[in-house]
Amino acid sequence: MIIITGAAGFIGSALVSYLNEQRYFDLVLVDDFSKSRKDDNLKGKQFSQKVERTEFFTWLEKNQRMVQFVFHLGARTDTAETNTKIFDELNVDYSKNVWNACVKFGLPLVYASSAATYGNGDFGYDDDHKIVEKLKPLNPYGDSKNEFDKWALKQKKAPYFWVGLKFFNVYGPNEYHKDRMASVIFHSFNQIKETGKVKLFRSHKTEFEDGCQKRDFIYVKDIVKVSYFLMHHRKNSGLYNLGTGTARTFYDLVNATFGALRKKAEIEHIDIPKDIRESYQYFTEAKMDKLKSIGYTEKFYSLEDGVGDYVKNYLVGKKYY
């Protein structure tokens, strides 16, 4: 059995699909399944059973002997959420319980961290453990992810193999339920369909022109390939960046979206909403040497290829992966 928490969500459901493609069907999906908006993410996929998030640890006590691997992808990911108690409960405490269960039962673990831990990038975007204590995230979500990373690195008892993946800006199919937190590609596609134009954030920093803020955009299909690689690798534990290693502007992203639709780009600028303006990252770029050093050699999708696949094969027609 392979456990996937957050299995009904964006990245979790994509991982279920990829594992099915690799002929893995004995999957245990853990999530809050009361949210029906995510149901379509799992339609047509093969798995053994669903376990409610609140019942997972009771289930694991009874079934741990049949489990081979744990992917902990479940989390509250709303970067505009300000209630720290929600993050403490779902992103920190729940993750500690997953970690401790993996220690107790001798299970390998891959969990989702985030590039939001890097904040403004004052210490760069290097997945060196030495800088984790120094990092200053810009919002409670980033704080919660960094708090767990710090906690994990301090533990004397750890799973025999564990990895925390610092996801950069992930985009791709199965994010229809994410509303405001969906990728800019998703929102751009819908704006083009409705108005023929795309609205991009103005820059509120003099060193960046409007629309020229840069992010490391990574296609979800690359995320699941790396996760699969780690499931078999099972050595070199630690924190790892997971981006492409190349920052691209939002202009590049929007132009790729227009290009995939064979339309001429029309772009307007709007102010960054005040509730996220102070926590908005203007630049992210993953340093990817560490993952490559342990033997990952697959090429990542370019922005143009990833956006093209996403738009043509999923967004047009609202298809799922």
In a domain, 109, yes or no: yes
Q: Is the pLDDT of residue 79 over 70?
A: no
Mean pLDDT of 236-255: 97
Residue-wise pLDDT for 189-223, tens only, equals 999 999 999 999 999 988 899 889 999 999 999 99
| Rounded-to-integer distance, Cα 190 and Cα 144, Å | 31
Is residue 73 a contact partner of residue 111, using CB atoms and an 8 Å limit? yes
- Give residue 47's pLDDT band: very low, low, confident or very high (50, 70, 90): very high
Q: What pTM does this model have?
A: 0.94
For residues 37 and 244, the answer to whether their CB atoms sit within 8 Å is no
Active-site entry in 18, 24, 141, 240: 141
Residue 123: inside a domain: yes
Among 26-30, 66-70, 280-284, which stretch is predicted with the lowest mean pLDDT?
280-284
Of 45, 178, 199, 225, the active-site residue reads 178
By DSSP bridging, strand 217-219 and strand 169-171 are: parallel
Q: Is residue 201 part of a domain?
A: no
For 256-295, write each residue's pLDDT tens digit: 999 999 999 999 999 998 888 888 889 999 999 999 999 9
Query: Mean pLDDT throughout 221-242?
Result: 98
Catalytic (active site) residue 141: yes
| pLDDT, average across residues 230-242 | 97
Domain membership flag for residue 311: no
What's the alpha-carbon Rg for the chain, to the nearest Å?
19
Residue 320 lies in a domain: no
pLDDT reported for residue 86:
80
Expressed as residue numbers, the domain containing 144 is 2-171+217-245+285-300
CATH number of the domain where residue 132 is located? 3.40.50.720
What pLDDT score does 78 carry?
Answer: 66
User: Residues 137-179: pLDDT tens digits?
Assistant: 989 999 999 999 999 999 999 999 999 999 999 999 999 999 8
Q: What is the mean pLDDT of the chain?
A: 95
How many domains in the chain? Answer: 1
Residue 36 has pLDDT above 90, yes or no: no
* pLDDT value at 45 more than 80: yes
Q: With the C-alpha atoms ordered 168, 174, 175, 178, is the resulting torsion angle positive or negative?
A: negative
